Amino acid sequence: MTQPVSATVPEALRAEGIVKRFGPLTALSGVSLTLRQGEILGILGDNGAGKSTLMKILTGFVPPTEGKLFVHGEEVALRSVDHARSLGIECVYQDLALANSLSVYHNLFLNREILYPGPFRLLNNRAMRRQAEACLEQIGVHIPSVTLPVERLSGGQRQAIAVARAVNSKARVLLLDEPLAAMGAREAGLIIDLILRLKAAGGLSIIMIMHNYAQALEIADHIVLMQRGQVTYENRAESTSVEELMEIVRREYRVVRNE
What span, in angstroms and rounded, lies between the C-alpha atoms of 227 and 248? 10
What span, in angstroms and rounded, lies between the C-alpha atoms of 179 and 166? 13
* Site track 121-150 with another protein (rule: CB under 8 A), x = hit: xxx-x---------------xxxxx---x-
Check if the beta carbon of residue 45 is closer than 8 Å to that of residue 51: yes
Shortest distance in whole angstroms from residue 152 CB to another protein: 4
What span, in angstroms and rounded, lies between the C-alpha atoms of 41 and 219? 9
Shortest distance in whole angstroms from residue 93 CB to another protein: 5
| Rg of the chain taking only CA atoms, in angstroms | 19
b/e sequence 133-151, b meaning 16+ C-beta within 10 Å:
bebbeeeebebeebeeebe
Among 50, 156, 179, 229, binds another protein (CB under 8 A): 156
Among 28, 35, 96, 173, binds another protein (CB under 8 A): 96
Shortest distance in whole angstroms from residue 1 CB to another protein: 35
Query: Between residues 9 and 81, which has the closer beta carbon with respect to another protein?
Result: 81
Number of neighbours of residue 172 by Cβ within 10 angstroms: 16
91: contact with another protein by CB under 8 A: yes
188: contact with another protein by CB under 8 A: no
The interface region with another protein, picked from 37-45, 66-74, 116-124, 229-237 by CB under 8 A, is: 116-124
Query: What is the DSSP code (8-state) at residue 150?
Result: G
For another protein, how many residues bind (rule: CB under 8 A)? 38
The amino acid at 31: V
Q: Which residues bind another protein (CB under 8 A)?
A: 61, 81-82, 85, 91, 93, 95-102, 106, 110-111, 113, 115, 120-123, 125, 141-145, 149, 151-154, 156-157, 160, 190
